[in-house]
A and B are shown apart, each in its own frame.
Chain A
Amino acid sequence: MNGNPLLDIRGLTVEFGGLRALDGVDIQVHEGQIVSVIGPNGAGKTTLFNAITASVEATGEILFEGRTLLGLDANQVTSRGVARTFQNVRLFANMTVLENVMVSQHCRTKQGTFGALFYTKAFRREEAEIRARAEEILGFFGTRLIGFRLDQPAAVLSYANRRRLEIARAMATQPKLLLLDEPVAGMNPVESAELTGLIGRLREEWGFTIVVIEHDMEVVREVSDRVIVLDHGTMIADGDYHEVSSDPRVIEAYLGQGATTK
């Protein structure tokens, strides 16, 4: 790969008490890539996301566009251009679909108390922009989240639509790097196939670089340029799908020792 990586992680270590959830992980993600992170349960995949988005303390180095993310607050990481979704959907359940997507534009907008109180022209313009952008983003998901759904609380959405709304909410922070934590978990094959296509479109149409944690190997094969395998907090493989899926260490990690020798 040419040029500097967009995301450059070196020797990333996260410890919880005595447990090393991540142990000296090195990952480079270049602009425009879709990278899948796989690994057995407890491998440290979500911890990796938490470390990048400053939800947990980490040591080592995380460079984003050449600047470190370590030591920043979670909101500062987001305003640098990293957005994430959550494994267990965490929408603002009692805010409407539209509000969910409007509120996450917070760090890209700046009208404060003064504008709101005096209902200034700039305030009205910005509100209109926020709303328009939110509707544009929601429109990306077809008709599912627009129309009458805009004003419904997120809590009434179906499971699949909640997952879509989570992605929409992350998109609204206008990131360069999108971290998707198991976006198709709990979906049926039809929906997960649809969302797989969507991940590709996210890169093509919106220009996001994407790191995705996924268990569904079908999805991983479809979307990823590269696959990274974590096990017990260390990276055991990095390459394209075919390289990784034939790597003996990966098979061992997934199926247990002895599987390769038979």
Chain B
Amino acid sequence: MTTTAGLLIRRVPAAWRRVVRIGALGALGQVFISLSGMPVRLDVREIVVPILSLGYLVVLAAPLVVGVLLGRRPEHSGFLANPPSNRDLVIGATTGGLMAGGGLSILALLLAGFDLRDPLINWSPQLLEFLSFGRGTGAGFIVWLVIGAGLGMVGGTLRLATSRTQKVIMTMALTVVAAAILESLVVDLVEGVKLEALVEWMYAPRGGVTLLGAAVLAIVSGVLSFVGQGRIKTVQARVQAMEGPKRTRVNLTLIAGVGVVMILLPLLVGKLTNELLANVGLFVLLALGLNVVVGLAGILDLGYVAFFAVGSYSTAVLTAATSPRIAPELPWFVALILVIFIAILVGLFIGAPVIRMRGDYLAIVTLGFGEIIRLLFLSDWLSGWFGGSQGITAIDGVDVFGLLTVDGTNPRRVFYLVLFFCAIAIYISWRLERSRLGRAWMAVREDEPVAEAMGINTVNVKLMAFVVGAVLGSFGGAIFVAKVGSVFPTSFLILVSIIILVVVIFGGMGNIFGVIAGAVVLIGVLGGPKQPGLLVEFSEFKLLIYGALLVWMMLARPEGLIPSARRSRELHQEEFLQDAWLRGEIDTDESNDPQTAGPTQTTDSDGGP
């Protein structure tokens, strides 16, 4: 039996095997997404009224992606005996999409026929209704085949179009989806500037973009993208070609512009949006701190939440009247100075034992320390000091020179406070990166033993990274306390460490802008560990999506959203060298050793005697 099957499989040409494999993966993915409960739960959020909800968007993505994947022309297809024609590719993509859609068709049949609610809690009549569009199982069965094949074909055809067309279509689709996701933000903003009329036609009364709005957005963005392509790159190149003071002036103007927008924005938006902005800012701050440790010095710290916790608890103890043991009730800014010292001490205390380890071991130990700190705050032993699981509550906000108080009831003020500290964190990262210390961090990241041999005290240098990270993390903690008005050990779960790390990796390790972009996208859209983002409906599936994003990111773009040039060089050394060679930048002393031909830079250990 197996041999017959094996023979059969071998008789199928490789191209079809690929179609079947990717199609089946798409089908599995869709069934998984459906059974995760995402579509039914997300169905309430409209993207385009009345045709597309977030729930459908999630399941429809699979056949489209399958189509796009299968529409890719195999590399070096000129060498193949029968290179696939465009028609072949579209047929393949359509078949793949059909298979992916077929997964849901079969699921619909199974849902109608069996009851598996016991192990699969989302095996529900609602899911069947969702899949069959409320028109009976048979209809659902056929509709998904049709939709799957159609989307597969669209995806495949899209892939065959010129890159310019692809970009235009991508821009159009992304604009509409982005407009739907950013709805609350946009509405809030136009209400702030009293221009509601501008968007009234665009959004449906109960949320979602209207058909008219979608069409207009798509056309406008399509035209803009068609006309504007290449323009941005030209401008970028022109700015990069500038030198000295002129460049500095452009940079300063940009910084000033962003600063003004950041200062004006909170004035125009309402409380909820300000709350969101403050949350994003808090994570920008934390991510910038972790970026110093992970991105600049290359120390994989999985317990960064420890510094956040220490900052929070020490601020709470120093400022709150309700602190159990000692309650000096210092003003927040005075307490902050002490908090910085405490953070430095804790950074040294945690760093000292950890720093001598390398790689995986270091990561595991930091993971442990992150938990230890939380458990200490939770323990009965220290509950006399920190309140144990009761935490410390009723903490006053920040009193700014007796003029005003910054606390959670006024998210706008919290945002300004966060903004101020983000600016400090950006300045610190920026200055340190371009200093003797920053260079030493780079060297340690590249090759620690050699850095040591070149006279760098690697232990001290790495400890400095820990200390700087700890101080920035404690800033985050201090603001968090002022904002929330209470601290509990449950605010400092390991999850916080992981989410900050994901933000840093997703945005682009080692790049300040990347880290900020990562926090804005992830925390702003999906939400933080406990804070909701723009897609409030996602909060239940946040971790699933975080995980999927991280996996995808590692596969497709390990250097992050906005990578640092150096980091991406590290990750793509071979490709980078190839490109440099093509541009004629590779330096080859004529008549050199054959080793020059291939980059022979190795990082393995010295060969011994």
Contacts and interface: CB of A to CB of B under 8 A. Distances in A.
Given A75-B456, A106-B456, A107-B456, A93 B589 contact: no
Contacts of B602: 88, 90
A104 interface: yes
Given A103-B442, A106-B456, A109-B436, 12 more contacts: A47-B608, A50-B606, A83-B454, A88-B606, A111-B436, A113-B435, A117-B427, A155-B601, A156-B587, A159-B593, A173-B454, A191-B592
A44 B435 CA distance: 39
Please tell me the size bucket of the interface on A.
35 or more
A225 interface: no
B229 interface: no
B440 A158 contact: no
Contact of A94 (B451, B566, B591): B566
Interface stretch (B25-33, B250-258, B570-578): B570-578
B443 A95 contact: yes
Shortest 5 CB-CB contacts between residues of A and residues of B: A107-B455, A116-B435, A78-B455, A47-B609, A104-B454
B468 A75 contact: no
Contacts of A87: 606-607
Given A55-B606, A117-B428, A155-B577, A188 B592 contact: yes
B436 A126 contact: yes
A103 B454 contact: yes
A226 B557 CA distance: 54
Contacts of B431: 116-117, 119
Interface string B576-609: 1100100001111101110110011111101111
Contacts of A187: 592-593
Nearest to A14: B609
17 contacts: A47-B608, A47-B609, A75-B452, A75-B456, A87-B607, A88-B607, A94-B570, A94-B573, A95-B443, A115-B435, A152-B585, A155-B569, A155-B601, A156-B577, A159-B596, A162-B601, A187-B593
Contact of A123 (B435, B440, B451, B456): B435
Contact of B437 (A46, A74, A116, A156): A116
Identify which of A53, A55, A90, A190 gathers the most chain B CB atoms within 10 Å of its CB. A90
B145 interface: no
Contacts of B595: 159, 186
A191 B453 contact: no
Contacts of B435: 111, 113, 115-116, 123, 127
B50 interface: no
Contact of B455 (A79, A113, A149, A160): A79
Residue among B432, B570, B587 with the highest chain A CB neighbour number at 10 A: B587
B446 A169 contact: no
A188 B439 contact: no
A158 B437 contact: no
A186 B435 CA distance: 35
Contacts of B592: 158-160, 187-188, 191
Interface in A77-104: 78-79, 83-84, 86-95, 99, 102-104
A111 B440 CA distance: 12
B84 to A, nearest CB: 37
B449 interface: yes
Interface centre among B434, B464, B599 (most CB of A within 10 A): B599
A75 B570 contact: no
Contact of A84 (B453, B456, B576, B600): B453
A113 B437 contact: yes
Given A75-B452, A78-B455, A89-B601, A156 B608 contact: no
Contacts of B457: 73, 75, 107
A86 B602 CA distance: 11
B450 interface: yes
B608 A21 contact: yes
Given A73-B452, A90-B603, A117-B431, A156 B580 contact: yes
Interface string A60-78: 0000000000000111001
Nearest to A106: B456
A86 B446 contact: no
B436 A130 contact: yes
B458 interface: yes
B188 to A, nearest CB: 37
Contacts of A45: 609
A92 B455 contact: no
A17 interface: no
Contact of A74 (B427, B432, B453, B569): B453
B606 A75 contact: no
A12 B294 CA distance: 40
Nearest to A110: B436
A43 to B, nearest CB: 7
Interface in B46-103: none
Contacts of A197: none
A101 B457 CA distance: 16
A113 B440 CA distance: 12
A42 B593 contact: no
A149 to B, nearest CB: 7
Query: Which of B451, B452, B566 has the most A CB atoms < 10 Å from its CB?
Result: B452
A160 B589 contact: yes
B540 interface: no
A106 B601 contact: no
A161 interface: yes
Given A46-B606, A123-B435, A157 B591 contact: no
B439 to A, nearest CB: 4
Contacts of B456: 75, 103, 106-107
Most central of B570, B573, B593 by chain A CB within 10 Å: B593
B218 to A, nearest CB: 42
A32 interface: no
B608 A75 contact: no
A112 interface: yes
Interface string A158-177: 11111000000110010000
A92 B450 contact: yes
Given A92-B450, A94-B569, A43 B609 contact: yes
B453 A112 contact: no
A21 B607 CA distance: 13
A209 to B, nearest CB: 18
Contacts of B600: 89, 159
A74 B609 contact: no
A126 B436 CA distance: 9
A24 interface: no
Contacts of B569: 94, 153, 155
B587 A92 contact: no
Contacts of B577: 155-156
B446 A95 contact: yes
B464 A113 contact: yes
A102 B573 contact: no
Contacts of B115: none
Nearest to A50: B606
Interface in A13-63: 16, 21-22, 42-47, 50, 53, 55
B439 A103 contact: yes
Interface in A117-165: 117, 119, 123, 126-127, 130, 149, 152-153, 155-162
